[in-house]
Structure 1
Amino acid sequence: MDLVPVAPSRTDRFGHRAWWVAGAALLAVVVAGAFSTLPGLLTGPLHEEFAWSRGSIGLAASVNMVLYGLTAPFAAALMDRFGIRRVVVAALLVIASGAALTTVMTTAWQFTLYWGLLVGLGTGSMATAFGATVTQRWFVRRRGLVTGIIASGSVFGQMVFLPALSWTVDHHGWRPSLVSLVLAACATAPLLWLALRDHPADVGLEPYGAERHVPKPPPAEGAGRRAVAVLLASARTGPFQLTAGAFAICGASTNGIMWTHFTPAAHDHGMPATTASSLLAAIGFFNVIGTVVSGWATDRTDPRRLLAVFFALRGLLLLCLPLLMSATVRPPMLAFVVAFGLLDLATVPPVIALCREFYGEDGAIVFGWVGAAHQIGAALAAYGGGAARDAFGTYTPVWTVLGALCAAAAMLSLLVRRSRSSPDERSAVPAGSR
């Protein structure tokens, strides 16, 4: 592609448009992240009002989780076909529709359809692959930092909305809490339509940090076919296999076990459930800090080494966790909360950087598939953790196994070799197949 020099613009002097686009993307992720806080708050009220089994209620959450992972690569391909703005705004409206319909449901299968399918599809479209697409198009410099900031948005959304939603459920019921999120999504959609742009060339700019103009690529035809083709091509490569394996362990050791089984594990040691939930919220706070710092470090350090360090430290923390559990919150447990929170989402920026390094313009789609592996690992750990607790009467074997798996993930990260070509020269799928 021909690169044409561009003169500095007013936007360069007073703040590049890329930062406004990144801010809009962050807002979208924050609002979408708020919806992930609700299943835990809805289980009790739905069980009491409709007498549904907790298994049938949990089915909707499971469908939501699986679709969240599987939708991301197709959403990234759709963004290449129809543009970021159209896909994200449509996803927000799908989320709002699913949540609104949930308020008038009467049977459990409707909950699975509205919350599991519609909300799952919508939130999956704004998963971390969305952030990877934005940074890949709009940034040449500061990619790791921006990736970390956008990725932290989902956890920040949970932190911001969770206390208010919990209070609303306790004092006014579960339906008003859903309506408040529907209104938030509907209010955000027009703001995103105004602020988001698909490519710097749409507004006559070069990407942030680029010295020359980058033409906007033509729309990629066959979004679904391309997403599958990228998977088939990249899955045969060593970097994908190693990274996906490590990220599956990442999902198992964070979303799968901590967000599902930490509270009951702490309760086994006599800690009140409300106290354990507060510790999880604190982990979420340090998630934001850790992800942003990780993004900053990814711009300056080999992402393979960062991943290895993050996984090794996480494994040590999980091995020590049984020794820290008690009926009360003591300083060692507080130290665990801080350290685990800093490491929890810190793996995202390095993994996105590796996908971009090896697969170039297909990096966002590849990361979507790697993210699907993350969700599969989380689902297996969520089920396996409960099964192990039933079999052994304690969670100690679970922490031990996951600690060992994190050590394996650290080794897998170090086995990923450096790419010999520049990102702009690489693609997981030959151009003719798109």
Structure 2
Amino acid sequence: MTRFSPARSRRPWWVAAVTGLVVLVTGWSTGVPDVLTEPLRAEFGWSRGTIAFAFAVNMALYGLTAPFAAALMDRIGIRRVVGGALAIVAAGSALTAAMAESWQLLLGWGLLVGLGTGSMALTFAATVANRWFVARRGLVSGVLTSSSMFGGMVLMPLLAWIVHHEGWRIGAVVVGAASLALVPLVFLVLRDHPGEVGARAHGAAEFTAPPARSEGAARRALVLLGNAAKTKGFWLLAVTFGICGASTNGIMMTHFVPAATGHGMHVVVAASLLAVMGVFNIVGAAGSGWLTDRFSARWLLVGHYGARAVSLLVLPLFMGSGVGAGMIVFTVVYGLLDLATVPPTIALCREFFGADNGPIVFGWLSAVHALGAGAAALSGGVLRGLAGSYTAVWLGSGVLCLAAAALSVRLGTGVRSRAAGGAFPAAVRV
């Protein structure tokens, strides 16, 4: 049996650092649609709808894979799941770089990269924060989840530069190579539980031995979904988090750069604005995590969704060929709000469904988040083709965020509820 070693008290921070790197590189792949859409149209003559469909499949699988991956981490371990997922992303990137037909984009980037990144989605960060941290859990979850958007946005100019100067195929290969390079580090540093290496979770009062491996990962994920779906709290969180996905990944990561370049802005300048958003993602997510450790998660969600709604409703006023003061303000504000909803949502999952079940239930919420993103990515491309403008997309997303703020008001204090396999707090007063 592994004994506690006080000298290993820094281990949670090393695990968090590697987790952040993995999530960052995973997030980098989410920026690919923004910089590949126009080059693919130019080379192959594919329609925006065809390209958007493949990217929408990627986003949908990014979420649908998450709850099963979270349960599988309990079954076979974090290192095996994450290491395998990184290899799948590398394979999907290589297939994309070699493609010549639209179905290959669907298979390579849509299916393989979607499955791989979905296994390292926000649930991975939530699982690590839940297992390795007691104190500062909200702060750590905020920083780790912000790494995804940091990768997708801050590294966007680099990806745009590579695509512009070296070609889109090299850009796809670089993303895959970065994923593959992390595999050795994952197997060297990551562990499933602090007890495996004789460490305590950060802030834990006492040493805890690793729990037994769970059986039937897929069945557990489905059973938890069935139990959670019987509660109003789950559906309120699902609808609001779906709107979150639609109003962030769905439109911003897929359509912001094409929209900006459509107004005459240079692609690298537009990508740089996304990079600035990514920097403020970290500030916003970390700040939201800090606030979640101290204040009501419900009211934080109300404020975050309400403020995001206002920013999206005024965005059409600032779109142009240059970067004015209004666009700068939008970039900063939106960046602060982009991932600010994640730490309060994770905290509510833990409160409503318990410490062990919370990450898996959050995985299902992440699936809804991705479905919302995929729907917005696809509908945004279709609307742009029909109307010749993204204005309806920005305004519609703003209205949805107002609805999410109103629904968040109804989230209350968790109460006890019976579930198959044991009791867990799963319902909310509404």
TM-score (norm 2): 0.89
- Alignment pair present for 1:337 and 2:331: yes
Q: What code does the residue aligned with 1:9 have?
A: P
Q: Which residue pairs with 2:366 in the alignment?
A: 371
Shift of residue 311 of structure 1?
0.9
Shift of residue 310 of structure 1?
0.6
Q: What code does the residue aligned with 1:351 have?
A: T
- Alignment pair present for 1:211 and 2:202: no
CA shift in 2, pair 1:354/1:389, >3 Å: same
- Alignment pair present for 1:127 and 2:121: yes
Which structure 2 residues correspond to residues 409-428 of structure 1 after superposition, within 5 A? 409-420=404-415
Q: Which residue pairs with 2:282 in the alignment?
A: 288
Shift of residue 114 of structure 1?
1.8
Q: Which residue pairs with 1:80 in the alignment?
A: 74
Q: Which residue pairs with 2:244 in the alignment?
A: 250
Query: For 1:326-379, what per-residue CA distance to the aligned partner results, in whole angstroms no more than 9, with x for missing partners?
Result: 443222221121111100111111101111111111111111111111122223
Q: What code does the residue aligned with 1:207 have?
A: A
Q: Which residue pairs with 1:3 in the alignment?
A: none
Q: What code does the residue aligned with 1:410 have?
A: A
Shift of residue 268 of structure 1?
6.3
Query: For 1:240-283, what per-residue CA distance to the aligned partner results, in whole angstroms no more than 9, with x for missing partners?
Result: 11111111111222222333344455566665555444333322
Q: Which residue pairs with 2:8 in the alignment?
A: 11
Shift of residue 232 of structure 1?
1.1
The secondary structure found in structure 2 opposite 1:180 is helix
**Cα RMSD after superposing both structures:** 2.5
Q: Which residue pairs with 2:397 in the alignment?
A: 402
- Alignment pair present for 1:192 and 2:200: no
Question: 2: CA distance between counterparts of 1:397 and 1:38?
Answer: 23
Question: 2: CA distance between counterparts of 1:286 and 1:142?
Answer: 20
Shift of residue 181 of structure 1?
2.8
CA shift in 2, pair 1:319/1:71, >3 Å: same
Question: 1: CA distance between counterparts of 2:8 and 2:239?
Answer: 42
Which structure 2 residues correspond to residues 14-29 of structure 1 after superposition, within 5 A? 16-29=10-23
Question: 1: CA distance between counterparts of 2:85 and 2:388?
Answer: 42
Is 2:93–2:176's contact at 8 Å kept on the other side of the alignment? yes
Shift of residue 70 of structure 1?
0.3
Is 2:196–2:209's contact at 8 Å kept on the other side of the alignment? no
Which structure 2 residues correspond to residues 52-71 of structure 1 after superposition, within 5 A? 52-71=46-65
Question: 2: CA distance between counterparts of 1:399 and 1:304?
Answer: 25
Q: Which residue pairs with 2:99 in the alignment?
A: 105
Among residues 329, 332, 357, which one is paired with 1:362 in the alignment?
357
Query: For 1:270-323, what per-residue CA distance to the aligned partner results, in whole angstroms no more than 9, with x for missing partners?
Result: 655554443333222211221111111111111111111111111122222333
The secondary structure found in structure 2 opposite 1:213 is coil
Q: What code does the residue aligned with 1:218 have?
A: A
Is 1:206–1:214's contact at 8 Å kept on the other side of the alignment? yes
Is 2:4–2:199's contact at 8 Å kept on the other side of the alignment? no
Which structure 2 residues correspond to residues 342-357 of structure 1 after superposition, within 5 A? 342-357=336-351
CA shift in 2, pair 1:210/1:430, >3 Å: same
Shift of residue 157 of structure 1?
1.7
Give me the identity figure in percent.
53
CA shift in 2, pair 1:81/1:275, >3 Å: same
Question: 2: CA distance between counterparts of 1:38 and 1:381?
Answer: 16
The secondary structure found in structure 2 opposite 1:205 is coil
CA shift in 2, pair 1:200/1:67, >3 Å: same
Q: Which residue pairs with 2:87 in the alignment?
A: 93
The secondary structure found in structure 1 opposite 2:98 is coil
Which has the higher mean CA deviation after the structures are superposed, 84-93 or 271-280? 271-280
Question: 2: CA distance between counterparts of 1:402 and 1:123?
Answer: 25
CA shift in 2, pair 1:102/1:202, >3 Å: same
The secondary structure found in structure 1 opposite 2:409 is helix
Question: 1: CA distance between counterparts of 2:186 and 2:261?
Answer: 42
CA shift in 2, pair 1:427/1:20, >3 Å: farther
Question: 1: CA distance between counterparts of 2:22 and 2:67?
Answer: 18
Which has the higher mean CA deviation after the structures are superposed, 326-335 or 193-202? 326-335
Question: 1: CA distance between counterparts of 2:108 and 2:348?
Answer: 35
Is 1:359–1:427's contact at 8 Å kept on the other side of the alignment? no
Q: What code does the residue aligned with 1:58 have?
A: A
CA shift in 2, pair 1:269/1:319, >3 Å: same
Q: Which residue pairs with 1:222 in the alignment?
A: 216
Shift of residue 224 of structure 1?
1.0
Which structure 2 residues correspond to residues 126-165 of structure 1 after superposition, within 5 A? 126-165=120-159
Q: What code does the residue aligned with 1:313 have?
A: A
The secondary structure found in structure 2 opposite 1:415 is coil
Is 1:362–1:427's contact at 8 Å kept on the other side of the alignment? no
User: Unpaired runs of 5+ in structure 1?
Assistant: 1-5
Shift of residue 207 of structure 1?
1.4
Shift of residue 31 of structure 1?
1.5
